[in-house]
Chains A and B, each alone.
Chain A
């Protein structure tokens, strides 16, 4: 058996309904704990995935609850890779992390959270839809 096949990979088809967000958070937080992050980091990783899903629901699907988001969480050799795929409107790249963090404006915090929690975040438009890939490396304590 290859090393890759012994790593956990979870795929969700998440309805674009906010009431399912808590289910995904629970699963992602548990997976992060098994990989090796501490409680605080697990909460942060679950938050980052929640924010990414929330952005899709609000901005790609405009709060419609009858659409689907494909979410894949893959344990990698050195951490975790999260992929989200949706078929809604493409993100406006000029608005990603456009607001100043820490200011008193209520919108646009989600993308800052994702960027701060995850090590690498990329957005791309593909024939399958809008794809967000976010990775985080586990820094093992020696």
Chain B
């Protein structure tokens, strides 16, 4: 799994590529929780994720709850087919703000 973070105005975009499972979800968790306090909006690109398991979904839920506590926006965009399937199986899509594109996720479209 590869993670990168870039600034887009007052927001940050986190890009994740590869597989998120029990062996990698801690790295994703650390990056997201460390980045969140510094921005008004954190957007996570899930388009290049080939695999995500329940530990990855649990990480996203934890970051969402932290963002609500800190009064920050945590949004997702570009869900890959693998991510969409796991969201469907776990019925969690309704708790997140999900967008198709980065522009929509950042409110710049």
Spell out A's residues near B (CB within 8 Å): 17-19, 21-22, 25, 40, 43-44, 47, 50-51, 54, 57-58, 101-107, 109-110, 112-113, 116-117
Contact = CB atoms under 8 A, between A and B. Distances in A.
B2 to A, nearest CB: 15
A54 B55 contact: yes
Contacts of A101: 90-91
A43 B21 contact: no
Given A101-B90, A104-B65, 13 more contacts: A18-B21, A18-B22, A18-B23, A21-B23, A40-B85, A44-B85, A47-B89, A51-B53, A54-B21, A57-B22, A104-B92, A104-B95, A109-B54
B89 A54 contact: no
A32 to B, nearest CB: 14
Interface residues of B, number: 25
Given A21-B21, A21-B22, A107 B58 contact: yes
Contacts of B65: 104, 106
Contacts of B62: 106
Nearest to B90: A109
A131 B100 CA distance: 42
A139 to B, nearest CB: 18
Contacts of B23: 17-19, 21-22
18 contacts: A21-B21, A21-B23, A40-B85, A43-B85, A44-B85, A44-B89, A47-B85, A50-B21, A51-B53, A106-B57, A106-B61, A109-B57, A109-B90, A109-B92, A110-B53, A110-B54, A112-B89, A113-B89
Contacts of B45: none
Contacts of B32: none
B82 interface: yes
Contacts of A18: 21-23
Nearest to A55: B54
Interface in B54-94: 54-55, 57-59, 61-62, 64-65, 81-82, 85-86, 89-92, 94
B102 interface: no
